[in-house]
Amino acid sequence: MENKGLNKVDLIFEKIDAKSTLEKAFAMPSDHIIQQVLESGLKGRGGAGFPTGLKWKYTAAEKDPEKYIVCNADEGEPGTFKDREILDKAAYKVYGGMAIAGRAMGARKGYIYLRGEYSFLLPQLYMELYKFHKLISDIGYDFNIEYRMGSGAYICGEESALFESIEGFRGEPRNKPPYPTTSGLFAKPTSINNVETLVTAMMIIEKGADHYVKLGTKDSRGSKVFSISGDTPIPGIFELELGMTVQEFVNAFGDGDTKAVQVGGASGFCVPRKKFAETIIGFEGVPTGGSMKLFNSSRSMYNVLHNYLDFFAEESCGQCTPCRVGCQQLLKGVEMVKKGDAKSAYLNELVKLADTMKIASKCGLGQSVGNAFKSIVENFREEVIY
């Protein structure tokens, strides 16, 4: 087990000269850009962790002359707020990353899907976008970005639901395959990347893949922006090297009484104190799109679980039965056990239901409800029952 300890990094918010990085990227053959991103080992920063270089490579390989690069800024996972901060402080690097991605795979058009809750940012984002478009045309390159807004649906962070939403439909996830790289937005080859992923890609071009691979572990290269909240004296946004244990994280951010850390938001995993030392934060352990919530011993893990299930029951798009009915039944089920209307062994039935949802649900929402459910029920069974 590779353990890097806790190290602060400054890549995402570091000020750079966008013009020189873009000129450097545009001077590179497109397969060199992709090669750099592949060599860096960068995995998607939205949470799912698909290798970014592969996504670009697949999209680049498509013959269709019309392709899109889409930036997923529908940051809705409970406890995640780093994309807002990145857009607030470094929008020019998000735009730059999109242009580089566009160059790498032959897309001239980009869309940013921004969650409605962040509408207040739009005036400054448009100002930055105006500057960016001017810079791009000064360089003599043809690339254009437009914003599209969400309207309060968590599910639209799922890539194909996001496309549906941009196209003017209900945000219901599509069947896969086909994957976005062959048929995405408007049925055209599309690479859809998280805000932080695009900025990181730009920094990889700026600094070189060889610089980037020095950070992190074999399975989790680089650094990551963490959104830290809950029972911590220093809530906020921190960029840290990947490869630390939950224990090291808690030592730095806990309040001395941390009993559990929810890694990856409502769709992530709950790590109890006894597993802090052995659990690595990253793709080899518990992955996260950035959300880190600390709970101290004054908190009821039943309340945490109930809050998450209530969240999913509301945010399930309702399209497929396992997720629509499953979320509601899990919520009802834990309420029944808590009230004593069902025996504690009923929790085992609910765990089976969560397993079924993982297999049978159409998209990541229903498939990941079981993560939090099972890790809380398994580690804090008494709190859920009594």
Partner 1 sequence: MYHTGNLVKDLAEKHGRKRESLMPILQDIVRKYNYLTDEAMVEVATELDISAAEVYGTASFYTFLDTVPRGKNVIRVCKTITCSMKGKIDIINAIEDTLRIKVGETTPDRMFTLLETNCIGWCHKAPAILINDMPYTDLTPESVVDIIKDYMRR
> In the set 107, 317, 323, 384, which binds partner 1 (CB under 8 A)?
317
Q: Could you say whether residue 165 binds partner 1 (CB under 8 A)? A: yes
Q: Is 328 in the site for partner 1 (CB under 8 A)?
A: no
**In the complex, what is the shortest distance from the CB of residue 208 to partner 1, in angstroms, rounded to a whole number?**
33
Q: Which of 168, 187, 166 is nearest to 178 (CA)?
A: 187
Asked if 230 and 254 touch (Cβ cutoff 8 Å), the reply is no
Query: Which one, 79 or 243, has the nearer CB to partner 1?
Result: 79
Closer to partner 1 by Cβ: residue 280 or 334: 334
Query: Looking at beta carbons only, is 23 or 257 nearer to partner 1?
Result: 257
Tell which residue, 156, 168, 197, 248, has the closest CA to residue 49.
197
Least distance from partner 1 to the Cβ atom of residue 167, Å: 5
137 is a site residue for partner 1 (CB under 8 A): no
Helices vs strands, H then E, count in the chain: 14, 9
Q: Phi then psi for 329, rounded to 5 degrees? A: -70, -35
Stretch that binds partner 1, among 134-142, 163-171, 193-201, 376-384 (CB under 8 A): 163-171
Interface with partner 1, residue 151, by CB under 8 A: yes
CA distance 272 to 294: 10
Of the residues 304, 369, 376, 377, which one makes contact with partner 1 according to CB under 8 A: 304
* 152 burial level (CB within 10 Å; 0-12, 13-18, 19+): exposed
Q: What angle do CA 323, 327, 331 make, to 5 degrees?
A: 170
Q: How far is the CB of 354 from partner 1 (least distance, A)?
A: 19
Contacting partner 1 (CB under 8 A), which of 34, 59, 77, 361? 77
| Binders in 222-251 for partner 1, by CB under 8 A | 227-231, 235-237
Upstream peptide bond of 233 is cis (omega within 30 degrees of 0): no
If we measure between CA atoms, which residue out of 225, 202, 207, 353 comes closest to residue 281? 225
Pairing of strands 223-230, 236-241: antiparallel
Burial of residue 195 (number of CB atoms within 10 Å: 0-12, 13-18, 19+): buried
Residue 255: phi, psi to the nearest 5? Answer: -105, 15
- Report CA-CA distances (Å) from 12 to 8, 241, 317: 12, 12, 33
Q: Does 166 bind partner 1 (CB under 8 A)?
A: yes
75 binds partner 1 (CB under 8 A): yes
Judged by CB, which is closer to partner 1: 4, or 82? 82
Instruction: Kindly state whether residue 256 participates in binding partner 1, applying the rule CB under 8 A.
Output: no
At residue 11's C-alpha, the angle toward residues 10 and 14, to 5°, is 80
Judged by CB under 8 A, does residue 254 bind partner 1?
Answer: no
Least gap, CB of 190 to partner 1 (angstroms) = 14
Residues 81-100 contacting partner 1, CB under 8 A = 81, 84
**Range in contact with partner 1 (rule: CB under 8 A) among 7-15, 100-108, 117-125, 354-362:** 117-125
State the minimum distance, in angstroms, from the CB of residue 231 to partner 1. 8
**Residue 125 found at the interface with partner 1 (CB under 8 A):** no
Q: Of 24-32, 135-143, 145-153, 210-218, which segment contacts partner 1 by CB under 8 A?
A: 145-153
Total of chain residues touching partner 1, rule CB under 8 A: 50
Interface with partner 1, residue 153, by CB under 8 A: yes
Backbone angles phi, psi at 134, to 5 degrees: -70, -45
Smaller CB distance to partner 1: residue 100 or 266?
266
Q: Which of 64, 176, 155, 174 is nearest to 113 (CA)?
A: 155
Helix (H, G, I), strand (E, B) or coil at 380: coil
Footprint on this chain of partner 1 (rule: CB under 8 A): 75-81, 84, 115-120, 148-154, 165-172, 186, 227-231, 235-237, 262, 266, 293, 299, 303-304, 307-308, 311, 314-315, 317
